[in-house]
Amino acid sequence: MTPMRWMITALSFAVMIGVSIYMIVGWSQEGASLALPASAHLLALIAVAVEILARSFKIRWSARAAGIRLPLATAIRTSLGGDFAAAITPARSGAEPARFFVLSESGLPSSSVLVILYSELFLEVFSLAFVVLVVAMVFRHAGAVLVTLVSLVGAYAGVIIGIGVLALYLSRRNTGGPPPRWARRLRLHAGHWRTVQRALRKLRSTIDSVERVSMTAAVSAFFASVVHVAIRLAVLPALVLTSVASVPLAPLALWPLGFLYGAAVVPAPGGGGAVEVAFRAALGHAIPLPLFAAALIWWRFYTFYIYILLGGIAAGSTVLRAVRRTERYERDVEEAVA
């Protein structure tokens, strides 16, 4: 990344850490500890491992559904690489380019990579909706937390589906010829428009390939996606209930899911402290004060920081190359518009 973007990322992480320290010092009782029982850490680590494996199998089975062979090791590296890029870029914008780059470097043609990524993304939306529907029935008396979660999921799903519909519309209309009027108004010259056309042609072949999917593999990918989403409900309860079993389950399970998906709309890398502030506002009265600091720090570690570490180890250099390539493309488009 450019020095400016590294500085913005470092500043965002500094704010996150500063907010966390402020939460600990300002709202924790004297003598509060960051220590949790060993069983809490064991359960959280198991949840992380299951989540990564479920997501990786989802990618692998999404590929198999389209007749593409993808080793599990490559799927794991793709998942972790996307996590690493999402953490260091604004609004998680680097996740998909990084995963595209990791899959491309494994030897897959770009058309196959797009098939996998589009399938995986739409499975995420439908599995998230399924999980929210189930928890809405289980925690039907949860009140505000349930309304907030349904609203966030609805907005997230609407954005993803809207992007897909727009891309489908463009892929059917603008895959050949000179730039249309709206592209000329954006001052996209012929070279950039040819890049857009190539992407739209690949997208059209991706959508056409849906007619040939293996339903067995697609259903398996869907259930792996459900497990991947559902396991995120378990991390905070595992950290808190092992110490104080009387804490209500609904806010511990539901609010964090909203934080994780709501953070995608925050422009600062990693949320810039917004997740920590939302955590305090929503759960400050649900989690006992002596336990609050430990719950916040360790939940953030097992849902965010650990993925940065694992992603950096698994695919750090590849992800940075993908981010640099994406930035060069963005600069070219900005220069064309200017």
Least confident stretch, 28-42, 139-153, 154-168, 299-313: 154-168
In this predicted structure, what is the pLDDT of residue 236?
96
Question: pLDDT: is 213 or 217 the higher one?
Answer: 217
Mean pLDDT of 25-42: 78
| Whether residue 336 has pLDDT greater than 70 | no
Mean pLDDT of all residues belonging to the chain:
82
Distance CA 83, CA 319 (A): 10
**pLDDT of 43:** 97
**Contact status, residue 85 vs residue 322, Cβ threshold 8 Å:** yes
Q: With bands split at pLDDT 50, 70 and 90, how would you rate the model's confidence at 237?
A: very high
Nearest by Cα to 112 from 124, 121, 123, 100 = 100
Asked if residue 225 lies in contact with residue 124, where contact means CB atoms within 8 angstroms, the answer is: yes
* pLDDT score at 93: 79
Q: How many Å apart are CA 53 and CA 44, to the nearest integer?
A: 14
Q: How confident is the model at residue 226 (pLDDT cuts 50, 70, 90)?
A: very high
pLDDT in tens, 73-84: 999 999 999 999
Identify which has the larger pLDDT, 333 or 286.
Answer: 286
pLDDT in tens, 91-100: 787 888 889 8
Integer Cα distance of 40 and 319 in angstroms? 32
User: Per-residue pLDDT for 26 more than 80?
Assistant: no
Which pLDDT value is given to residue 59?
94
pLDDT on residue 71? 94
Between 33 and 126, the higher pLDDT residue = 126
By C-alpha distance, which of 67, 83, 170 is closest to 115? Answer: 67
Residue 52 has a pLDDT of: 96
Q: What's the length of the chain?
A: 338
**pLDDT mean over 317-325:** 80
Q: What is the mean pLDDT of residues 156-169?
A: 72
State both tokens at 237: 């309860």
pLDDT category at 220 given cuts 50, 70, 90 is: very high
pLDDT of amino acid 322: 78
269 versus 233: the higher-pLDDT residue is: 233
Looking at the predicted structure, is the pLDDT value of residue 111 above 80? Answer: no
pLDDT of 18 strictly over 70: yes
Identify the pLDDT of residue 169: 72
How far apart are alpha carbons 8 and 268 in whole angstroms? 8
Q: Does 334 score more than 60 pLDDT?
A: no
Model pLDDT, residue 78: 94
pLDDT value, residue 199: 64
Cα–Cα distance for residue pair 4/333, rounded to 1 Å: 19
Give residue 321's pLDDT.
Answer: 82
Please state the rounded mean pLDDT for residues 104-123. Answer: 83
- According to the model, what pLDDT value does residue 33 have? 76
Q: Where are the alpha helices (DSSP H) in 28-143?
A: 38-65, 72-88, 95-105, 110-138
| Type of residue found at 59 | I
Q: How confident is the model at residue 330 (pLDDT cuts 50, 70, 90)?
A: low
What pLDDT score was predicted for residue 7?
A: 81
Q: Where are the domains of the chain?
A: 3-337
Query: Averaged over 25-43, what is the pLDDT?
Result: 79
